[in-house]
Amino acid sequence: MALSTGTASSAVHTTALPTVHGMRTLTALLIVCLMLCSAPIARAAELELWPPVPGRPVALFDRATSRYSAGHRGVDLAAFEGDGVRAGAAGVVSFAGMVAGRPAVSVDHGGGVRTTYTPVVSAVSVGQRVEQGQLIGVVGTDDHCRSMCLHWGLTDGLDHFDPMAQLSIPTIRLLPQGSTPQPRPPRVSVVPGGGRMPVTGRASSPFGMRVHPITGARKLHDGTDIAAPCGTPVTAPWPGRVVGAAFHSAYGYRVIMEHDGLRTAYAHLRGLEVHVGDELAAGTRLGAVGSTGLSTGCHLHWMAWRNGALVDPLTLV
């Protein structure tokens, strides 16, 4: 609509006002935009994390003034090469590979919110579901810290957040003076029967990164070596079924067992004493310590997988 004072030169034009329908549409679009823009931030704020390594912070999160300005977009935790790294929360592995020459792992926790771990040599694969506290890899080499560390990040793909602010805080119960606290409930085992060591001996080489004593290659040591004299009985830590029993060029004579939600393997055995399909009770002999395959002496190489991912078998007993 235009208003006029009677002369063309003095005509004043006004802008048409939006209709009621237009106002409603604009309001709806604004609400949707606010919901979408704030959703990742809300999800990141609601996420409860566990520390991926036990080390103390050596460099804290420093929020950048903008998305593209300088800042420390994560926290550095003290860790050494070969230390196990665990998922801060349950999710799906969205990346496992190299970033700018550094090994890295990312876990998506829904809605685009993910935690990142660098430098980490992955023990999981993209698309794999991981639980909170599950081993996802080991600390690799990097020059990010003066001493070794793990760089831990939390992001929604655009903004970065302080993962330390999302750590779960344990419940503290205050008791009256002189009262006796009740004992803690027994720990629920993650595998049937609580588990036992498959052989008597000392752990001579732990799970994690190392230089192979024969090939000289630096790689993940995918199990725990237990030193014991050749011929020492090796027994099943849990009841299960034999799903593999064969000679392997590197592992020598190896037996693989399936348990409830867990797979274990026993390598460098002296020979094969069980067969595929055998059902073994906990404590049943499955072989004897040997030095077959790529081995420097008598020992048992003990391996374990939980939900398809390699884990340190010593954490299961």
Q: Mean pLDDT over residues 159-179, rounded?
A: 71
Q: State CA 202 to chain mean position distance.
A: 27
Q: How far apart are CA 119 and CA 82, in angstroms?
A: 11
Does residue 5 surpass a pLDDT of 80?
no
- The 3-state DSSP class for residue 63 equals coil
Give the bridge partners for 49, in sequence order: 167
For the chain, give the number of residues. 317
Q: What is the DSSP string of 257-291?
A: EEETTEEEEEEEESS--S-TT-EE-TT-EEEEBB-
Residue 274 has a pLDDT of: 96
Residue 70 has a pLDDT of: 52
Per-residue pLDDT tens digits for 106-130: 999 887 789 999 999 999 999 999 9
The better pLDDT of the pair 26, 149 is held by 149
- The 3-state DSSP class for residue 111 equals coil
* Two tokens, residue 135: 């081993």
Question: Could you give the count of Cα atoms lying within 13 Å of 303 in the half-sphere of its Cβ?
Answer: 20
Max mean pLDDT among 5-19, 142-156, 248-262, 276-290 falls in 276-290
Note the helical H segments in the chain: 20-46
- Sign of the CA dihedral with 216 first, then 221, 222, and 224 last: positive
For each of the domains in the chain, give its residue range(s) and CATH number, in order of start.
57-64+71-166 (2.70.70.10), 202-316 (2.70.70.10)
Among 207-216, 230-239, 253-262, whose mean pLDDT is lowest? 207-216
Q: State CA 171 to chain mean position distance.
A: 24
252: left (phi over 0), alpha (psi -120 to 50) or beta: left
Residue 236 has a pLDDT of: 95
Query: How far apart, in Å, do the first and last CA atoms of the chain sit?
Result: 83
Per-residue pLDDT tens digits for 277-296: 999 999 999 999 999 998 88
DSSP 132: T
The continuous run of DSSP H or E covering 235 comes out as strand 233-235
The continuous run of DSSP H or E covering 180 comes out as none
Q: How far apart are CA 303 and CA 264, in angstroms?
A: 5
Rounded (5°) CA angle 221-203-282:
95
